[in-house]
Amino acid sequence: MISERNRRALRQAESAGVEIVIATGRRQAYAAPLIEPIGLKAETVLITSNGTVTRTLAGERMDRTLLPIETARGLSGALRQFGGTAIFTFDRDGRGELVVESLEQVHARIALWVDANRPWIEVVEPLERAFDAGEPPVQGMICGTVEDMDRAEAWLAASPYAEKIEMHQTQYPARNLSILDILPPGCSKAVALGRLAERRGLQADEIMAIGDNYNDAEMLKFAGHAVLMGNATAELQVVGRELGWRIAPTNDEDGVAQVVEDVLCNQLNVSVVE
């Protein structure tokens, strides 16, 4: 839930002429209802599925990159060795936007996610059949312990798939949970943001990015003003300090609001991405 201070700060920034862009690993259908209570404009841009799809908050598609069917079909079998938690995301509405082979195995790993996404989940067994209709997905993912996903990432990096995919982890060490997103090659939040910046005629030094996990790292490196939340892992904070990123207060301390309020106070001409 987004705090009132964070909502107020983002609305004030928008009113002051700062463009707010939301960049998330989540899908549009999942993210939009969480963002709508902020009260941002309908044309607010959402970079979703870790950079594979860009839409406005109202749903207008601006950009999309697809994972080739042959790659996704091959991954369906290759990923079974990592616990049977493979999930593929399609850029469609309703049931079947998310496809799994074993709902039980996915639920055992990320029960809250399954419960929140049930209306969009379709079970297809074997998973390879999910691509029989000829529609390519925008994203694949597997989940498990941090150790298991580090092992999965290393295996994929040394496999024939290495040049056919892009990988980004989102880690939650306190829960010993990691989600490994498998994207079309060259995809990331940073790449999607770069395309948007080009459309807007913006340079990197006119962009502030706020992030808290490993899947934000490339975006933070791209932005001229990089802010890492205080709840990021200690390891990522070390990297951030080495690269000169600002370390903000934590989410529980309304760190986003504090950063945005500073932007408004200093009247920086930046677009804020989080």
Cα–Cα nearest to 47, from 22, 19, 67, 65: 22
The percentage of residues in the chain with a pLDDT greater than 70, rounded to a whole number, is 97
Tens digits of per-residue pLDDT, 51-87?
A: 999 999 999 999 999 999 999 999 999 999 999 999 9
159, 234: one domain: no
Assign 193 a pLDDT band (cuts: 50, 70, 90). very high
Residue 246's alpha-carbon distances to 101, 117, 217, 225, 231, in angstroms, are 42, 34, 13, 8, 13
Q: Read off φ and ψ for residue 83, nearest 5 degrees.
A: 105, 5
Residue 269 has what pLDDT? 61
Name the 3-class secondary structure at 115: helix
Q: What is the CATH number of the domain that holds 93?
A: 3.30.1240.10
CA 48 – CA 188 distance, rounded (Å): 10
Strands 45-48 and 53-56: antiparallel
CA 35 – CA 203 distance, rounded (Å): 26
Sign for the pseudo-dihedral over CA of 217, 105, 85, 151:
positive
Boundary residue ending a domain (165, 183, 201):
183
Tens digits of per-residue pLDDT, 86-134?
A: 999 999 989 999 999 999 999 999 999 999 999 999 999 999 999 999 9
163, 125: one domain: yes
166, 242: one domain: no
Domain count, the chain: 2
168, 204: one domain: no
123, 255: one domain: no
CA 5 – CA 2 distance, rounded (Å): 8
- What mean pLDDT comes out for the span 177-203? 96
Q: What is the CATH number of the domain that holds 220?
A: 3.40.50.1000
59, 77: one domain: no
Residue 1 has what pLDDT? 82
Residue 222's alpha-carbon distances to 37, 198, 242, in angstroms, are 29, 13, 15
Q: How far is CA 39 from the centre of its chain?
A: 21
Give Dmax over CA atoms of the chain in angstroms.
56
Structural domain of 40:
4-64+187-273
82, 23: one domain: no
242, with CB counted inside 10 A (0-12, 13-18, 19+), is: exposed
Boundary residue ending a domain (161, 183, 205):
183
| pLDDT of residue 202 exceeding 80 | yes
Q: Do 179 and 149 touch, CB atoms closer than 8 A?
A: yes
| pLDDT of residue 206 exceeding 80 | yes
For residue 181 the two structure tokens come to: 């997103």
Is pTM beyond 0.95? Reply is no
Boundary residue ending a domain (183, 209, 233):
183
Residue 272 has what pLDDT? 67
